[in-house]
């Protein structure tokens, strides 16, 4: 079924053109070392293993195993060493499991999630991440860490509005900003203006440079 390695890209391209011709306008392609596909009407499903990748209009997705299913292969499910790259937005995400709805442009990832936003120089870490590409909004949960120059955030829930460069933190949030520490029930951060707003049970520790200088003398 697989033939020689040289024939695989041609085989995959022919299958793609025959099975889902409506996807050609959407610049959708896939490849891998091994492929298993079900062609039965209503049960279309393709599994790629070994150096597997999917290229959509917006994203390059790489993983140990990639499964494509649903009408026009609208769903992409990945496992093992998953990496998704959006060069246009300057975003790269690594994780262990990924689900992508190509039609709704929603990404859900799990397991040691790391998102690098090169454009805004922000690194986001957590156990679960959901991203809506059209609105450029990301929700991160479970052991959330957000890193930016002079800024370290910890929480159990974070909402990152990338277009507006704003963060909303809850679930025992802690923010360290240039040595100062802030805690509250909810913390809002404007990364553009370096503004922090705290709500509920507010506590803080502010480093006093004056006190440090006096001590040194």
Rounded average pLDDT over 7-35: 57
Question: Is the alpha carbon torsion for 125, 94, 104, 56 positive or negative?
Answer: positive
Which residues have C-beta within 8 Å of that of residue 85, sequence separation ≥ 6? 59, 60, 91, 92, 93
- Has residue 51 been placed in a domain? no
106's enclosing H/E stretch is: strand 106-117
Return the CATH number at 138: 2.60.450.10
Q: Is the pLDDT higher at 90 or at 71?
A: 90
Rounded average pLDDT over 75-88: 94
pLDDT at 23: 39
Average pLDDT, the chain: 84
**Listed range (9-18, 20-29, 108-117, 190-199) with the worst mean pLDDT:** 9-18
Q: Tens digit of pLDDT for each residue in 124-178?
A: 999 999 999 999 999 999 999 999 988 999 999 999 999 899 999 999 999 999 8
The number of distinct structural domains making up the chain is 1
- Has residue 31 been placed in a domain? no
Which residues have C-beta within 8 Å of that of residue 18, sequence separation ≥ 6? none
- Has residue 13 been placed in a domain? no
- Has residue 45 been placed in a domain? no
pLDDT at 3: 43
pLDDT at 27: 66
Supply the range of the domain harboring residue 192.
120-217
Q: How far apart, in whole angstroms, are the C-alpha atoms of residue 178 and residue 156?
A: 22
- Has residue 159 been placed in a domain? yes
pLDDT at 209: 65
Asked if 32 and 66 touch (Cβ cutoff 8 Å), the reply is yes
pLDDT > 90 in the chain, percent: 62
- Has residue 57 been placed in a domain? no
- Has residue 204 been placed in a domain? yes
Q: Is the pLDDT higher at 28 or at 93?
A: 93
pLDDT at 157: 97
pLDDT at 216: 44
If pLDDT is split at 50, 70 and 90, which confidence band does 91 have?
Answer: very high
- Has residue 105 been placed in a domain? no
Q: Tens digit of pLDDT for each residue in 15-28?
A: 444 444 443 445 67
């Amino acid at each position: 079924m697989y033939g020689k390695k040289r024939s695989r890209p041609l085989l995959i391209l022919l299958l793609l053109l025959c099975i889902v011709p409506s996807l050609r306008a959407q610049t959708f392609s896939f490849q891998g070392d091994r492929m298993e596909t079900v062609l039965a009407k209503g049960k279309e499903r393709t599994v790629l293993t070994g150096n597997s990748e999917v290229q959509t209009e917006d994203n390059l997705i790489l993983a140990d195993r990639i499964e494509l299913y649903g009408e026009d292969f609208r769903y992409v499910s990945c496992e093992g060493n998953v990496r998704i790259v959006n060069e246009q937005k300057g975003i790269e995400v690594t994780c262990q499991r990924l689900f992508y709805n190509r039609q709704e442009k929603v990404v859900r990832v799990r397991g040691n999630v790391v998102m690098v936003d090169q454009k805004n120089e922000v690194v986001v870490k957590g156990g679960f991440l959901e991203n809506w590409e059209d609105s450029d909004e990301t929700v991160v949960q479970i052991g959330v860490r957000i890193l930016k120059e002079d800024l370290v955030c910890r929480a159990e829930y974070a909402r990152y509005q990338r277009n507006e460069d704003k963060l909303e933190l809850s679930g025992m949030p802690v923010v360290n900003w240039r040595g100062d520490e802030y805690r509250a029930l909810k913390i809002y951060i404007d990364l553009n203006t370096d503004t922090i707003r705290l709500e509920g049970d507010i506590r803080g520790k502010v480093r006093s440079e004056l006190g440090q200088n006096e001590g040194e003398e």
